[in-house]
A and B are shown apart, each in its own frame.
Chain A
Amino acid sequence: MSERAPAAPIDLKAEVRRAFAPNANAANDAGATTSDLSIDEELNLHSIGWEPVELVSGVSLFSIPYGSWNWGQGEIATASVAHERAFRGAITRLHHEAARAGGHGVVGVHIERVVHATHVEVALVGTAVRPVGAKTISFDAVFVSDLSARDFTLLMIAGWEPLGLATGASFVFAPRRSMGTVLQQQTQNVELTNFTEAMYSARESAMERMQRAALDLHGTGVVEVKVVEGPTRFAMHAVGFVAWGTVVRLAKAEHQMIQPMMVVPLNDAKVDFDAATLA
């Protein structure tokens, strides 16, 4: 990363003519790359000296054993474990693909995650990136992040680095209410503490797992944490809480203040008028 003066405005018409001139394309020596990044994202990466290398993906499906959702007590450990292993399996495959392609990390990972009664599916797609022209690094050193290329750029400018994806999931049974309690509560507005407590229990387990995963990656925190919570559609007596985000740590001696510039748009305010005044 280096501070450079902004380039002079480009003559677009001349650039287009140059692009299709008979002897154009002389600079095409970098080899084929594939990416799902937009041109803005690629320019963002380029501004900090990084480049896209390859579109990579990772998939995993883990079974949830029969009978796991039958009403019981406490955590549905098999479902939580299946979720964690499916995520880990997909991330590992993404790691391998990125390392093979010469990437130092994967940014903008799209996460598709479906929990069925009988299995968990996780599919990840992202773009492997590396510092321009950098050599291949070991599989272990490759990071996976669901941050967009823009957010990755901002993070790096601020002196931080992504280390990987951390996830945590927990599925918990809401304890049964006794028939007496049901009859007693039927005509009242009343909090169903069995569900509230089940949600808190799932939340604590899932968040704890995600934060422990962050520590395992030697991170100091998790950014852009996404949370999905609520009852499972095939087992309304169970609640689930899933959290994931990108693990980060300070790469420089201290946080770099980005000092954003304040801007005031000078666009005209929207002008509204009453059609009746046109008469």
Chain B
Amino acid sequence: MTQTIAIVGANLCGWMTAAALARRLPYAAYQIMVIDDGAAGDGLGDFAPMITVPPALVAFHAEIGLDHAALVGAGGGHALGVAFDGWRGDGSAAFLSYGETGAPYEAIAFHHLVGRLRATGANVRLADHALAAVAAQTGRFASDGSIAHAVHVRTDRYSALLRSLASNAGATASSTPLAAVHSNADGIVETLTLADGSEITPLLVLDCSGSAAVVAGRTSPAFEDWSALLPCDRTQVALLPAEGAPPPYTQVDAQDDGWIATWPVDGVDVRLICRVGGEGHPFRAGRRVEAWRGNCVALGAAAGVLEPLHPTALSLLLRSLARLIQLWPATPRAPVEAAAFNRAGAAAIEGARDFLVAQYAVAGRAGAFWDDRRSASLPEHVVAKRDLFAARGRLPMYDDEPFEEEDWAAMFDAMGVVPRRYDARADLVPVDAIERHLAENRARIIARVRALPSYAGVAA
């Protein structure tokens, strides 16, 4: 007997879900049906007509056979990192790159070596020791995958590519939108009724309808509001003609009440303002308390929303899909699977939230909005990370959090947090040996960058 998996939301989130599942579900046993929720949007927060695809998704694209060149298209949209302007108290800019920064020496992490040098009065910038950052600075790039990078892509094109892959793998799209949901008190969706009156009895409903959460909003209404931690609640997008060749990175400028990002996509600069109040698209940071309840699993923005400062929406979705496959249920009622899914999912999105909260809390920019971010009552894990990093450049790490230790260290450093102490083992290496190690590493980076073509050529 064929069981129906109803994906609600014929958008980027829905087709990504369909493409991932179509590859993994036995074709004969499951029918994957993507149902239009009747709303426009990407299911991932609807922040912009484009989205940032982080490096981690490149492997997934290869797995499902998505053509990277077709995805990015002409006109560029590659990002080697993010330039943060105006975040620090000293007014200086900072660059957070994808890929590795520096290299360890005698098993001592790079940023501890830097700590030692800084203690001698040297002025060392981490970005000068990251291949991606130096390439970005000099406007060079390689599209052969030899440098870790993200891409900015148009959501309509991305969604269409995923749709065609999912359709080829057997997923179908309903021709009419969802009209009604019939669920019981345990959150089990018994039937979905479409606009043409046809009824679907699903094994699972995957709610990809974005913040509206047209199904999960009924079956699992409890929502944890994080606006006290992340008060930005409006975004506004402008598409500006790009002047000259696009830079191979994202630009994010701090503002008095939020930030502005500039994402070069396809020959256009997508300018996004994210701030508290004002005009624009409203959103609320937070997460659904039980993303999986009954037989409905909320994915993407239906499960939780974070402002798009870092490209976490797609990586969180991908993690959720991998977890869903691991915990695939046999029957509509699967409380053990749901609990395991929700536990890891909560830790993942909270980890992503904490990264944002921490960045705001350590940014030194002056102003009431920024003062409030610093003096807010912070989550316990943020306090522990901030304090231990400030003390000695180390980071406590927790289960299922999506950012790695190096990501945290790089972010804190970019925001200007200088640890009071560093790994004691760095004191045992002579300063000139560390200087030599850094110089050699930088020489290698510069040699590699010199061999790269100019980005203007790649993006043309």
Binding partners A and B: no
- Residues of chain B at the chain A interface (Cβ within 8 Å): none
